[in-house]
Structure 1
């Protein structure tokens, strides 16, 4: 009988150890999940901050390009109105170069 009770006690001890191990693993998993959530929140926050900064920079660049394009268009219009024959000559020359390029590229 003592052998049987010794086995019983040994089995109960092993079961208690396994339960303790499972509880420890569950706690570790929860801690890792919490840490992962914190890390993901930090990464998300950093990504959103970088996106806002990029949008701000692109918005500024777009405004600058828009302004420069408008200024260039106005300057071109003014020059064309002040010098119509020169503008026409440049336009004809550009068309001639384009036509010559297209003819040469077919060969």
Structure 2
């Protein structure tokens, strides 16, 4: 669920930025009040994209902190099984690195 939310936010940000870029490109050829209006719309789109990225960043940080706390709790509650898993993974990585081709 979380990954699909990030993909959706990423897609929305890309669309907003492409639209803003198109507005800025068309505003570059205009002058006067119309150009100012298009620049303002483009800036609103960029601001919306920035707000979306900030919200996504806050969500990622919160999720990361929550995962760190749950991992820390698990390791403290099950130290020997954690050591066993870490040793097994280390041994497998060592075997894969040292095997002859």
Structure of greater Rg: 1
Three-state SS of the structure 2 residue aligned to 1:36 is coil
Gaps of 5+ in 1: 1-34
* Structure 1 ranges of 4+ moved more than 6 A: none
> Which residue, out of 30, 36, 40, partners 1:36?
30
Residue 45 in 1 paired to residue 45 in 2? no
Cα gap change, 1:81/1:45 in structure 2, threshold over 3 Å: closer, same or farther? same
> Which residue, out of 74, 77, 80, partners 1:79?
74
Aligned-pair distance for 1:74?
0.6
Cα gap change, 1:40/1:99 in structure 2, threshold over 3 Å: closer, same or farther? farther
Gaps of 5+ in 2: 1-28
TM-score, length-normalised on structure 1? 0.58
Aligned-pair distance for 1:99?
1.7
Alpha-carbon RMSD = 2.0
Looking at structure 1, the residues matched to 42 and 92 of structure 2 have their Cα atoms a distance apart, in angstroms, of: 49
Superposed CA offset, 1:39-96 (max 9, x none): 4323321221111101111111111111111011011011001000010011112212
Aligned-pair distance for 1:100?
2.5
Deviating more after overlay: 79-88 vs 35-44? 35-44
TM-score, length-normalised on structure 2? 0.61
Larger helix proportion of the pair: 1
